[in-house]
Amino acid sequence: MNIKNLTLLSVVACLLFSASCQKDFKEKHDGGDEENLTSLVTKLGFDTLNMKVSGDTLWVEDDIVLFKSKLSQTSPRQAIANPPGSASVPNLILYYIAPQSALGGFNSSEEAAILAAIASYSSLTNSNGTTYLNFQRVYSLNQAHINFFGYSNQRDANLCGFAQWPTVNNRILNPGDVYINLAVTRGTTGTISPLSHSQLVFLVAHEMGHAFGVRHTNWRLLGEPQFEGSVGAYTVPFTDNSSPNPDPSSVFNGRTCGFYWNGFTAGDERAISWSTQASILIQ
Ligand SMILES: [Zn+2]
């Protein structure tokens, strides 16, 4: 999922995030002091080496979008993977799928893949054996916590999709939105053939992870940094993530567009549980 040319995609992103694009990075920080943008992103634990900036939108680590205006606000705050109890997803996560009739809308088979990915999340169980992520479809994007949008970037044949990083407001983790590059997934650009149902489910499940605050499992391999302390990236507890490629079958490995869906690994499930702050952490 390399990003080679962000110009057009950034324009699309700006159109889609029109409200955000008009903001300047002048909002008050917690302490009231201006901080360096790179420093703020570093504090969140992201690799700033290849960070791309377009208006209010920041691209990091290939397929994760942050917003300058949310980096340091107390509420909502651009989230990191928080310790248990600090924030959790809504009890009922409302989602919206752009219909085929809309700009960037999905056809029926793409919609089926999105629904399959959501079903995979909703079937996850905690250590009590009960499900902990509950979803409900809505038909107005204004009502949804997660919006699924398609877009078309012919010029970036390697970026299959991306997701916004979540925010936190009043201890609620507000998931980001998921964007799928239909030009790539439909095979109209680049060398990737149209993605199959299985490949689309993998892609959507991967991006949904980012929308909940899950980072790349193979972050060491990709050169994405780890930071210690109260902010930044760290290994999810109860996962054996200590080597460059600790979980080759993880849905959350980066640079995996075109991979086939084979379900979540045990480590994936722990990462999802950790990031969404389920009431009972899977061990
Ligand atoms: Zn990713």
pLDDT tens digits along 58-115: 888 888 888 888 876 655 556 555 555 577 899 999 999 999 999 899 999 999 999 9
3-state secondary structure 67-113: EHHHCCCCCCEECCCCCCCCCECCCCEEEEECCCCCCCCCCHHHHHH
Ligand 1 centroid–CA 60 distance in Å is 10
Q: Output the CA 167–ligand 1 centroid distance in Å.
A: 17
> Cα of 245 to ligand 1 centre, how many Å?
15
- Distance between Cα 223 and ligand 1 center (Å): 13
Pairwise CA distance, residues 46 & 232, whole Å: 7
- Which position has the higher pLDDT, 190 or 269? 269
Q: Is 170 exposed, middle or buried (0-12, 13-18, 19+ CB in 10 A)?
A: exposed
DSSP letter, residue 44: T
Rounded to the nearest angstrom, the distance between the alpha carbon of 33 and the centre of ligand 1 is 32
Of the two residues 222 and 204, the one the predictor is more confident about is 204
Give yes or no for residue 200 having a pLDDT over 50: yes
Distance 257 CA to ligand 1 centre (A): 9
31 C-alpha vs ligand 1 centroid, how far in Å?
Answer: 32
Report the 10 Å Cβ neighbour count for 209: 26
Give 142-168 pLDDT, tens digit per residue: 999 999 999 998 887 788 999 998 887
CA of 163 to the centre of ligand 1 (A): 8
Distances (CA, A) of 38 to 16, 53, 167, 255: 24, 11, 19, 23
Are the CB atoms for 85 and 172 separated by under 8 Å? Answer: no
Tokens 């061990």 belong to which residue?
283
- Which segment of 30-44, 176-190, 236-250 scores lowest on mean pLDDT? 30-44
Task: Over range 221-244, report the average pLDDT.
Answer: 73
Please tell me the distance between residue 66's alpha carbon and the centre of ligand 1 in angstroms: 13
Residue 78, φ and ψ in degrees, nearest 5: -65, 125
Residue type, 147: N
User: Rounded CA gap, 26 and 277, in Å?
Assistant: 31
Query: pTM (2 decimals)?
Result: 0.81
How far apart, in whole angstroms, are the C-alpha atoms of residue 184 and residue 190? 7
Centre of ligand 1 from the C-alpha of residue 159, in Å: 10
Residue that wins the pLDDT comparison between 85 and 45: 45
Average pLDDT, the chain: 79
